[in-house]
Amino acid sequence: MSAASAAAASGVQVQDLSASYGSAAIALREVTFTATGGQAVAVLGPNGGGKTTLFRALLGELEATTGSVTVHGTIAYVPQTERSRLDFPVSALDVALMGAYGRTPWFRRITAGDRAAARAALERVDLADRAGTRFGALSGGQRQRVLIARALVQDAHVLLLDEPFAGVDRTSEEAIMGILAGLRAEGRVLLIATHDVEQARGWDRVLCLAGAQIAYGPPAETLTNAVLEGTYGEEIVMLDCGHRAVAIQHHSH
Amino acid sequence: MEILRSGLLQRALLEVVILGATCGALGVWLLHLRHTYAAESLAHAMLPGLVIAALVGAPLLLGAAGGVLVAAALIALAARDTRVGPEIAVGVTVTTAFGLGAVLALAPDVPARLGELLFGDLLGTSTSDLVAACALGTCVGLALCAGHRSLTATVFDPVAAPSLGVRPGRVDLALLILLALAVVAAVQGLGNLLVLALIVAPAAAAIRLGRTVGAQITLAAGLGALAGLLGLVASAELDTAAGASVALAAIALWLIAALLAPGAPQATGGRRSLVEILVS
């Protein structure tokens, strides 16, 4: 996909979205935001705050109870690498090729073009030399890059990244930041679920969720003490006289 | 060798080699998806249905389906009681179903051959059994080829699989249907109890030895067929029960694989049962 076509095609519009799991109580309420091509949006919030619910609604896996979701362009989900089966014998190339599954009917083989696209995607995330390596044998950061390569094979205009920096060392984090910067420059939309308040200041927009939308906008306007306290409640610690904030998270995984 | 001259044994050999290869290949995915407990439960839960079908002369497949449906309904009912919960509901229902099936199959006034539903009778393999095994092998082979990518995505990450166009619920259901068909097709030869050995042991050995999923499936099919051959030859030479000898041969092959590759990766975690403890 060329940078120009990505910029022209991509975008996410969410209007008054509420969503729930079956007959259970509403998991996410009153979310309204727009992200256009080239924007990176940090989705900030505590565990259970609705980040996963929002992603599932964007992916079409969860129907909106009220409101609407419009996605312009192909959408891909980049999960947390810890959730993948590391004992399953698939190579980095095999995982990247999964990005072609959705467009390949069961009775057809993966095409040579898709194989070439998978190799190109691995090269783009600087893992061409690890194509044949077992996915479980890669480092956390390398696995995360393979999963981003898979989204590239999906030809995604909109990427939903679920805590892409969790369990990743500093070097890999910088590598991933570089890749994401490149994707933004091509006009793709990135939605990045994160717990890192400081990192969220580096993205174009911040969406704060705590069962409902608390705030949406540029980081300077959004990441105020009042909004962070509204988002995290007791689980936020202010440092440097309120200039820095650290979210205390209790991971279930 | 006697086995090559006797028509009876030739048919049994063909049956057990086809079933071994089919169950082995299917077993790789069942183990990767951590469905060993489900396989064990499913096989046991269908026993009363199989016995009743045999008693009234109905097709075994119908009886198996009925047995599984009744067990599933009972599990769902019991699990609705919060004091019981799903774990206890499965355990109690499956054990009850199996006990009921065994009582029916081994009762003094039912035909003697019904006991074979538990332990099988390879030497009684009929032409229709062979046809059923061939049909099962073809069906499982085609289904595993057609579903290879869906199975791969489901095992790798069932949460992310829908975003790749794969529906893990359907994949699980399809695999469990294939498992039910395999148990029904194999029940005459190996019995409701011993068929699990051919599903689990060759696959567990292949997962230790194979470096790719494709290699594991090929290896499991080969080891399943080999277990059938070795078990039947041992049975003929040592005059032991054929089905049990095949099951023991399959376990012996797993032991050899475990010794050859002691530190090899193995599907781990999730729900464990007695059978799963065996393969870990």
For the full predicted model, state whether its pTM sits above 0.90.
Answer: no
Which residue would you say has higher pLDDT here, B64 or B215?
B215
Bridge partners (DSSP) listed for residue A35: A12
Subunit contact A101:B157, Cβ cutoff 8 A? no
Residue B277 clears pLDDT 80, i.e. is over it? no
pLDDT for the residue numbered B188:
75
- Gap between the Cα atoms of B123 and B171, Å rounded: 35
Residue A165 · residue A124 · CB < 8 Å:
no
Number of H helices, E strands in chain B: 13, 0
- A101: nearest CB among B32, B149, B266: B149
- B160: nearest CB among A79, A89, A90: A79
User: What are the angstrom distances between the C-alpha of B226 and each of A50, A202, A204?
Assistant: 52, 61, 61
pLDDT for the residue numbered B279:
40
Nearest chain B alpha carbon to A110: B149
Nearest chain B alpha carbon to A154: B164
- Residues from chain A contacting residue B210 (CB–CB below 8 Å): 89
Subunit contact B266:A87, Cβ cutoff 8 A? yes
pLDDT for the residue numbered A179:
94
Interface test with A, best of B148, B157, B266, B279 (most A CBs within 10 A): B157
pLDDT for the residue numbered B195:
86
Subunit contact A79:B150, Cβ cutoff 8 A? no
- A88: nearest CB among B150, B155, B162: B155
- A77: nearest CB among B146, B160, B268: B160
pLDDT for the residue numbered A252:
44
Min Cα distance A220 → chain B (Å) is 33
Subunit contact A90:B213, Cβ cutoff 8 A? yes
Interface test with B, best of A56, A75, A101, A159 (most B CBs within 10 A): A101
pLDDT tens-place string over residues B114-156:
667 777 788 888 888 889 899 999 999 999 999 999 999 999 9
Phi, psi for residue A63 in degrees, rounded to 5 = -80, 140
- Among B178-192, B238-252, B259-273, the range scoring the smallest mean pLDDT is B259-273
B12 torsion bin: left (phi>0), alpha (psi -120 to 50), beta (else): alpha
Q: How confident is the model at residue B1 (pLDDT cuts 50, 70, 90)?
A: low
Subunit contact B150:A106, Cβ cutoff 8 A? yes
Subunit contact B147:A84, Cβ cutoff 8 A? no
- B157: nearest CB among A59, A85, A103: A85
In terms of C-beta density within 10 A (0-12 exposed, 13-18 middle, 19 or more buried), how is residue A201 classed? middle
Q: What one-character-per-residue DSSP string does B94-153 give?
A: HHHHHHHHHHHHH-TTS-GGGGHHHH--GGG--HHHHHHHHHHHHHHHHHHHHTHHHHHH
**Secondary structure of residue A133 in the 3-state scheme:** coil
- Residues from chain B contacting residue A104 (CB–CB below 8 Å): 149
- Residues from chain B contacting residue A95 (CB–CB below 8 Å): 156
Q: Over range B204-228, report the average pLDDT.
A: 95
In terms of C-beta density within 10 A (0-12 exposed, 13-18 middle, 19 or more buried), how is residue B252 classed? middle
- Gap between the Cα atoms of A86 and A67, Å rounded: 38
Subunit contact B152:A61, Cβ cutoff 8 A? no
Residue A225 · residue A237 · CB < 8 Å:
no
Residue B214 clears pLDDT 70, i.e. is over it? yes
In angstroms and rounded to an integer, the radius of gyration of the C-alpha atoms of chain B is 18
Nearest chain A alpha carbon to B210: A89
- The number of beta carbons lying within 10 Å of the beta carbon of residue A166 is 18
Subunit contact B156:A59, Cβ cutoff 8 A? no
CB contact set of A57 (below 8 Å; sequence gap of 6+): A14, A17, A19, A28, A63, A64, A69
- The number of beta carbons lying within 10 Å of the beta carbon of residue B13 is 20
User: What are the angstrom distances between the C-alpha of B185 and each of B110, B173, B202, B229?
Assistant: 22, 18, 18, 18
pLDDT for the residue numbered B260:
87
Residue B216 · residue B206 · CB < 8 Å:
yes
Q: Smallest Cα–Cα separation from A146: which of A137, A155, A132, A135?
A: A135
Which residue would you say has higher pLDDT here, B144 or B99?
B144
Q: Over range B161-185, report the average pLDDT.
A: 88
Min Cα distance B145 → chain A (Å) is 9
Q: Which helix (H) or strand (E) holds A70?
A: strand A64-72
Interface test with A, best of B163, B166, B170 (most A CBs within 10 A): B163
Phi, psi for residue A159 in degrees, rounded to 5 = -115, 125
pLDDT for the residue numbered B81:
72
- A76: nearest CB among B147, B159, B163: B163
Nearest chain A alpha carbon to B158: A84
* Average pLDDT by stretches of 10, chain A with 253 residues: 53 92 81 94 90 93 90 93 90 97 92 96 95 94 95 95 88 91 94 89 93 93 88 66 57 45
- Gap between the Cα atoms of B274 and B280, Å rounded: 10
pLDDT for the residue numbered A9:
64
Q: Smallest Cα–Cα separation from B232: which of B7, B5, B15, B59?
A: B15
- Among A6-10, B16-20, B265-269, the range scoring the smallest mean pLDDT is B265-269
Residue B266 clears pLDDT 60, i.e. is over it? no
Subunit contact B156:A85, Cβ cutoff 8 A? yes
Min Cα distance A97 → chain B (Å) is 10
Subunit contact B157:A154, Cβ cutoff 8 A? no
Phi, psi for residue A14 in degrees, rounded to 5 = -120, 125
Min Cα distance B201 → chain A (Å) is 18
- Gap between the Cα atoms of B79 and B90, Å rounded: 8
Min Cα distance B219 → chain A (Å) is 14
- Residues from chain B contacting residue A59 (CB–CB below 8 Å): 162-163
- The percent of residues above 70 in pLDDT, for chain B, comes to 89
Subunit contact B152:A98, Cβ cutoff 8 A? yes
Subunit contact A101:B153, Cβ cutoff 8 A? yes
**Token pair belonging to B152:** 């791969």
pLDDT for the residue numbered B275:
40
User: What are the angstrom distances between the C-alpha of B82 and each of B4, B72, B76, B85, B124?
Assistant: 58, 17, 12, 5, 47
Taking one residue from A and the other from B, the number of pairs with CB-CB distance under 8 angstroms is 65
